[in-house]
Amino acid sequence: MPPAVLPLEGVTVVALEHAVAAPFASRQLADLGARVVKIERPGVGDFARGYDKTVHGMSSFFVWANRGKESLSLDLKHPDAADILQQLLDEADVLIQNLAPGAADRLGLGFDALHTRFPKLIVCDISGYGDHGPYRDKKAYDLLIQAAAGLISVTGGEDAPSRAGISIADIAAGMYAYSGILSALLLRARTGVGERVEVTMLEALGEWMSYPLNFAHYGGTPPARHGLAHPSIAPYGHYRTGDGGSVIFGLQNDREWQRFCLNVLDDAALANDPRFTTNLERVNHREALDVEIGKHLNRMTRDELIERLDQGGIANAPLNDMHDVWNHPQLAARQRWRDVATPAGSIQALLPPATLTNAPARMGDVPDLGEHTAAILGKLGYTAAQLEALRQQGAI
C-alpha cells in the first residue's frame, strides 16, 4: 500500500508568530502536511516557550501549539533579515503573523506591499481588534478579549463571573485563521491569486457569543449565570453522590423525567409530584427539586449513579479532572494518543479531532529554538562562514 499523502504536502508556510492564536493555527496546517517555518527571536524565541516548565522543563503551551514546525532564529530588525525573508517568501504559499499592532506593516510585511511582489502569497493577519477602528492599537490578550466579548459576563456562578479555564479567545481566532487559510488555498486554486485572511480575536469570540448576544439584545436582559446548572432545563447540572463523587446529568423532556424517577431514583411518587411534572414547573421549583434528588443520590456512589443513568437512557458525564481526561477510557479505546518527539524527550499528544481515513495527521517533532536555522539558510545558499557571521552579529 503506498504511503499516505497528506492534504497540504507541498504547501510552505512562513510563520511570524508567538503565544497561542497564530501558532495554534499553523500547527493545524503542519499536522496536515504543510511545511511550517516558524521564525523566532534569537536567544529568546516565542515567548510562549517561557510560560511554564511543566513538560520535561518545557512550556505546556509551546509543546501543544508548535509540533511539526521548523524553527528559524532570525532578528527581523537586522539589516540582513529582509533578504532572508524575501527568499523564504519566494517559496512560500502562506504567511501567517500575529505580531504587535502595526509591526508587520512597519517591516514591509503588510498584504498590500507583499501582494505586488508575491501575487500568489496568502497572508493571514491575526490581531486583537483589527487594522482599523478605535481599538486598532489596543493590546489584546486572551483574558482581555474574554472580557471585551462578554464571555466572562455570562460565565460563572450567580455571585461572581469567571473566565473560561482555557485560552478560548486565542483558540477561536486560531481556528478561524486555519479555516480561512484553507479557504484561501481553495480559492487560489481557482484564481491563481493569493488573498488576505484577516482574523480578530474579538470577532472570533464574538461569533461564539451570538446566542447570549441575541438573547440579551432581543430579549432585553442577558442570560443569567447559573454556574454548573442549565438556566432553562431542570434537572440539568452538577450533582453529588454519597461517596463525594460529582456527576453532570440532564433531562431533555418530560418523558425522560418519568424514566429518571422510575429507573434511576426508584421513586414513582416523585414522578407525579405536581411541582415537577413539566420542565417549566421543575425550573420554577428548582431548589426543592434538587433537595428531593439529593436525598436519593446521597444513598448512591458515583459509579452506581452513572450505571443507573446509563441504563435509564439519561445523558450524563462524570465531572472529570485533568488526570481523568488523560486516562479517559474512550480516548484509549479509540487510540487517540501519539508519541511526539521534543528536545527534552518524547511526550504524548492527542490526534487532531478531524480524522481523515487515509491521511493520518503528521504529528511532527516539537522544535528547539533555532534548531533548523542552519539547514534552512543553507538551502537558501548561505555558507558556513556567512552563517557564523550572522550569529556573531546576533542576526540568527
Grid coordinates given for 216: 440579551
Distances (CA, A) of 283 to 204, 250, 280: 33, 12, 5
DSSP character string of 123-154: EEEEESS-SSSTTTT----HHHHHHHTTTGGG
Task: Report the distance separating Cα 340 and Cα 347, nearest Å.
Answer: 5
* Rounded-to-10 torsion of CA 286, 287, 289, 293: 130
Q: What angle do CA 338, 320, 350 make, to 5 degrees?
A: 15
Give the residue from 70, 20, 77, 18 showing the smallest Cα distance to 45: 18
Query: Could you give phi then psi for residue 324, rounded to 5 degrees?
Result: -65, -40
Pairing of strands 35-40, 94-97: unpaired
For the chain, report the end-to-end CA distance as a whole number of angstroms: 42
**Segment (H or E) for 178:** helix 168-191
Give the residue from 322, 369, 367, 375 showing the smallest Cα distance to 340: 367
Which residue is catalytic, options 78, 226, 230, 328? 230
Catalytic-residue membership of 78: no
Task: Report the distance separating Cα 205 and Cα 114, nearest Å.
Answer: 28
Catalytic residues: 230
